[in-house]
Amino acid sequence: MLFYTTLVFSLFFPTADELSLSGVVFDLNAAVVSDVRVMLEHTTGRQQWTATTRSDGAFRFDHLALGTYRVKVQKEGYFENATEVRLETSKTIEFTLAPEETLSQEIEVVARPEPINTDSVSAQNTVNEQVIQNIPYTGRRDFLNALTLMPGVLRDNNGQLHVHGSRGDQVRYELDGINVTDTSGTGISSRIPIDSIESVDIDLAGYSAEFGKGSGGIVRVHSQFAGNQYRFNLTDFIPGINLHERTISDFSPRLLLSGPVVQGKLWFMYSGSLRYVRTFIDDLPKHENLQNETVADQLLKLQWNLRESHVLTLSILHNSEYFGNAGLSMLRPLETTTNALQRARTLALSDRHVAGRTLLETILQWTRSHNSDLAKGEAPLEAWPDRWSGNFFTDRRGSGQRLHVAQTVSWERSAGRLQHRLKAGGEFDHVVSDLWVDRRPFLLFNEAGD
C-alpha cells in the first residue's frame, strides 16, 4: 500500500527537477530553423540555461523545477522572439522567427523656385492643408470656413469674409498670384477645390502697395505643387441614401491626381469636386416635392520648367452650379419655381524668369462667367395668400468678362553692409458685365379674391 501511494504521487505531482521543456523553431514559411540560440531563465531563481536547435529545429531542457520561465530565441538575420512559460508539467512550445528586412522610404521635398523673396515684412497668418481638409464642415466644403479659425477673421451670413472689421469688398483674393476677387467686390469670384489647396496665407497689414485695392487684407491661396511622384486621392465616393424616398440624397466625391508628364521638366495637377444634393419637401405630392443642387469645381495646373530659373505655369479653373426648383414650398408649387445656373471659367498663364538677382513675373488672366435664373414658363403669376399659381414673373440673365494683366520686377542690391530689396510693377484690369431682366405682369389677391 505504501508503494502504490508513492507511485501515484510521483505520477500526478512531479517532484523538483523532474520537468522538461522542449520546443521547435520555425520561420514564416513553416520551415524548421537550425542553429538558433535558445536562452531559458527562471524568473524567480534567476537560473539560466542555453541550448542550440538541431537540424530539425528542436531544442530541449531537462531537470527543471516548478515555476515560471522566460524563453528567448535569437539568430542572426532574424528578429528576436521571447515568451514566458508557467511550468507545472512538462511542455512543448513553438516559436516562429521573422527575417529581418531593410525598410526604406523615399520622401521628395519640393519647393517652389523662390530665388528672391518678393514679399515685404507683414503680419501674416497661415492655414495648411491638414486643417482645411480635416475640420468638420456643415454643408458645402469651402476653404473660407477654415479661415475663420484665425483671430480677427469673420464670415457673415452672405459668405463674405471680413478681416479685422473691414468690409467684404476690401479683401483681395489670389490663387497662385491669379486675381480671383469678384469684380463687383462681393468676395471671391471662383470656388477652389479644397484638395488642390496646399496652404492659405492672410496678410493683415504692412503688405506691398501693389495690393492697395485690398485695404482690409490679402487672402493668398497656394495650390498643391506636383513633383516627380504620382499622387492619386479619391474621397467621399460613397453616396448618402434617403431611405424614406429610396433614392440618393447626396453625393460629394473629391478627386486629386498629380504627377510628372516629363520627369524633371513638366508636371500636372488636377483636382475636382462634385456636390449633388436632393432635397424633398414634406407635405407636397410625390414627384412635385424635389429640389436638386449640383455644384462642380475643377482646377487643372500645368507647370513647365524651361530652365531652373524660368518657369511657366498654366492654370484652368472651372466652376458650375445648378439649382433646380428654387423657392419650392407649400406656398410655391413646382410651376412657380425657377431654375438657377451659374458657370465661370478662368484661364491664366504665369511666367517667372530669374536673370541674375532680378525676378520678372508676368501674369495673363482671362475670366468669363454666365448666370441665369429662369422661370418655368410665361403664364401670368397669381399670388394668393395661401398658394401661388402660374409661372414666376422674372427671368434674369447675366454675363461677365475680365482681362487681367500684371507685370512685376523684383531685384536686390547691396551697398556695403546694407541690402536693398526693390519691387516695381503694374496691373491692368478690363471688366465687362451685362445683366438682362425680363419682367412680366403678375396678379396679387387677398383672401376675398380681390
Q: What is the pLDDT of residues 365-377, one digit of tens each?
A: 999 999 999 999 9
What's the topology of domain 19-97? Immunoglobulin-like (2.60.40)
The alpha carbon dihedral of 211, 213, 218, 221 has a sign of: negative
Contacts of 20 (CB under 8 A, 6+ apart): 60, 61, 62, 63, 64, 90
For the segment 200-239, what is each residue's pLDDT rounded down to a tens digit?
888 776 566 666 677 778 888 888 877 788 999 998 889 9
Lowest mean pLDDT among 90-94, 335-339, 434-438: 90-94
- At 124 the pLDDT is 61
- E strand spans, 286-385: 290-307, 310-326, 338-355, 358-375, 381-383
Lowest mean pLDDT among 4-8, 162-166, 350-354, 439-443: 4-8
Domain borders along the chain are 19-97, 123-223, 231-444
> Residue 170 above 90 pLDDT?
no
Contacts of 198 (CB under 8 A, 6+ apart): 128, 129, 222, 223, 224, 225
CA distances from 38 to 25, 57, 63, 88, 328 (A): 10, 11, 16, 20, 79
CATH superfamily for domain 231-444 = TonB-dependent receptor, beta-barrel domain (2.40.170.20)
The 3-state DSSP class for residue 145 equals: helix
Rg (CA), the chain: 36
- CATH 2.40.180.10 for domain 123-223, yes or no, is no
Asked whether the whole model's pTM tops 0.75, one would answer no
User: Cα(172)–Cα(179) distance, rounded to whole angstroms?
Assistant: 8
For the segment 399-431, what is each residue's pLDDT rounded down to a tens digit?
999 999 999 898 888 777 787 778 888 889 899
In one-letter notation, the amino acid at residue 153 is V
More confident residue, 188 or 277: 277
User: Cα(36)–Cα(57) distance, rounded to whole angstroms?
Assistant: 8
